[in-house]
């Protein structure tokens, strides 16, 4: 109980659930995790893994799950690609026989992986994917973040309020995440009577977007809104800078999920880029958890909300096992919504989901890239 006393009230309640289960201690309780540990999204995968590992250590230090069983995570690399993601999920489901899979953090990988696990009757909690089509995957799929339709409207409102444009350009990755987010943003602009004069779908991971960017310039937009991350976002921004597009759009270039979009950016290139990003619940609990994660992740991992949502996803999984008092997929599936309802997370305080297993709320913050880092943005 001394260990429990050091935790916040919300973690205390969660821990009591973990320790109160009546099951007899036996072999470890295994669940699966898929993350991009290599490839263009590996940096965000490392951030998420840091949070995942911190939660796992904390849970097992407190006594594990199901009355004393060690919680074990079988972690597989998706290589930031859909097919390896499906293969990783297939191994977890068919070989390791896990009742629950966590991950991935991108929609293009998560959607086919989630379809495979749910199609096999295995539960799947997506960590950071936000494409709306997750809603169509079926019973057993749950999300840790709200889908693009929520952020899309907020993004359109931010751009309209800040830049006061009559016409905008919309640039996005041609994948499930990018297309879904772009359609949500377009719907938001339509509701605000802002004209979209350029609608450019860019193939991810190309090395040259100059022709598309030059075509964008000819439409003479009042503001540019982009949906991209990782190497794709870095290439778009670098070439926009080289072509003078960023200079022409200075102060009016907006990036959805701006942290992921500027993570690999040269400071001079990204100076002044604005956007929205998920923000974690502020306060001493978030600060203490991030500090704990930092102690074990090492100096090379740049912690942010990916870390906190990775942490929260493992806690939700552990609570679900205990509420189910079982490793049977059907019983865990019934328990997950309740676990999300009662858990008070680090990323946000309410992880409640709707009837489709999708988050009903999300926290976003306005950011600007200045002097090599993101900071809170307040219009002058």
Where helices occur in the chain by DSSP H, the ranges are 2-5, 9-20, 42-61, 82-90, 107-119, 148-163, 176-191, 210-217, 230-242, 245-248, 258-261, 267-270, 284-297, 305-324, 329-342
CA dihedral 263, 266, 268, 272 (to 10 degrees): -20
pLDDT digit string (tens) for 225-247?
Answer: 999 988 899 999 999 999 999 99
Residues contacting 286, CB < 8 A, separation 6+: 280, 308, 346
Structural contact between residues 171 and 178, judged by C-beta atoms closer than 8 angstroms: no
Determine if residue 37 is left, alpha or beta; phi over 0 gives left, psi from -120 to 50 gives alpha, anything else beta.
alpha
pLDDT confidence of 47, banded at 50, 70, 90? very high
pLDDT confidence of 8, banded at 50, 70, 90? very low
267 plus 369 within the same structural domain: yes
Q: Would you give the end-to-end CA distance of the chain in angstroms?
A: 50
3-state SS class at 299: coil
27 plus 90 within the same structural domain: yes
User: Which pLDDT score is estimated for 5?
Assistant: 31
322 plus 253 within the same structural domain: no
pLDDT digit string (tens) for 181-211?
Answer: 999 999 999 999 999 999 999 999 899 999 9
CATH of the domain at 217: 3.40.50.2300
pLDDT confidence of 14, banded at 50, 70, 90? low
73 plus 158 within the same structural domain: no
Output the six-digit token pair for 355. 């009837």
Structural contact between residues 361 and 146, judged by C-beta atoms closer than 8 angstroms: yes
37 plus 98 within the same structural domain: yes
pLDDT digit string (tens) for 97-136?
Answer: 999 999 999 999 999 999 999 999 999 999 999 889 999 9
Q: How far apart are CA 17 and CA 320, in angstroms?
A: 10
Q: C-alpha 290: how far from its chain's center?
A: 16
pLDDT confidence of 4, banded at 50, 70, 90? very low
**For the chain, what is the domain count?**
2
Distances in Å between the Cα of 320 and the Cα atoms of 90, 139, 196, 241 are 22, 16, 44, 48
User: Which pLDDT score is estimated for 36?
Assistant: 97
217 plus 311 within the same structural domain: no
114 plus 200 within the same structural domain: no
354 plus 371 within the same structural domain: no
269 plus 317 within the same structural domain: no
Tell me whether the omega of the peptide bond preceding residue 104 falls within 30 degrees of 0, making it cis. Answer: yes
247 plus 289 within the same structural domain: no
Structural contact between residues 203 and 228, judged by C-beta atoms closer than 8 angstroms: no
The residue segments making up the domain with residue 35 are: 2-147+281-362
Per-residue burial over 106-122, b if 16 or more Cβ lie within 10 Å, else e, is bbbbbbbbbbbbbeeeb
Decide if pLDDT at 88 tops 50: yes
User: Which pLDDT score is estimated for 154?
Assistant: 95
310 plus 340 within the same structural domain: yes
User: Which pLDDT score is estimated for 17?
Assistant: 53
330 plus 354 within the same structural domain: yes
């Amino acid at each position: 109980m001394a260990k429990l006393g050091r935790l916040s009230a919300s973690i205390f309640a969660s821990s009591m659930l973990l320790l109160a289960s009546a099951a007899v201690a036996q072999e470890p309780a295994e669940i699966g995790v898929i993350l991009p540990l290599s490839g263009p999204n590996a940096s965000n995968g490392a951030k998420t893994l840091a949070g995942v590992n911190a939660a796992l250590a904390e849970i097992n230090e407190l006594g594990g799950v199901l009355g004393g069983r060690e919680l074990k995570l079988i972690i597989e690399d998706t290589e930031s690609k859909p097919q390896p993601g499906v293969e990783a999920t297939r191994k977890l489901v068919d070989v390791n026989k896990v009742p629950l899979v966590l991950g991935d953090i991108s929609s293009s990988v998560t959607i086919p992986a989630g379809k495979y696990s749910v199609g096999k009757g295995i539960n799947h909690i997506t960590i950071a994917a936000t494409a709306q089509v997750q809603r169509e995957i079926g019973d057993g799929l749950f999300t840790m973040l709200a889908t693009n339709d929520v952020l899309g409207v907020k993004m359109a409102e931010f751009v309209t309020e800040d830049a006061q444009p009559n016409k905008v350009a919309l640039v996005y990755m041609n994948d499930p995440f990018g297309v879904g987010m772009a359609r949500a943003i377009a719907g938001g602009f339509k509701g605000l009577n802002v004209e979209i004069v350029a609608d450019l779908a860019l193939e991810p991971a190309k090395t040259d977007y100059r022709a598309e960017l030059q075509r964008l310039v000819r439409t003479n937009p009042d503001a540019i809104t982009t949906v991209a991350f990782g190497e794709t976002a870095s290439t778009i921004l670098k070439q926009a800078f080289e072509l003078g597009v960023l200079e022409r759009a200075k102060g009016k270039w907006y990036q959805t999920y701006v942290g992921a979009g500027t993570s690999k950016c040269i400071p001079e290139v990204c100076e002044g880029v604005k956007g929205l990003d998920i923000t974690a619940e502020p306060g001493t609990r978030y600060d203490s958890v991030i500090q704990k994660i930092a102690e074990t992740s090492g100096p090379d991992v740049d912690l942010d909300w990916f870390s906190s949502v990775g942490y929260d996803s493992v806690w939700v999984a552990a609570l679900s096992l205990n509420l189910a008092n079982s490793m049977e997929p059907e019983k865990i599936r019934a328990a997950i919504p309740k676990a999300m309802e009662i858990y008070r997370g680090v990323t946000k305080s309410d992880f409640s989901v709707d009837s489709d297993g999708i988050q009903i709320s999300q926290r976003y913050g306005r950011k600007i890239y200045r002097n090599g880092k993101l900071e809170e943005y307040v219009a002058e």
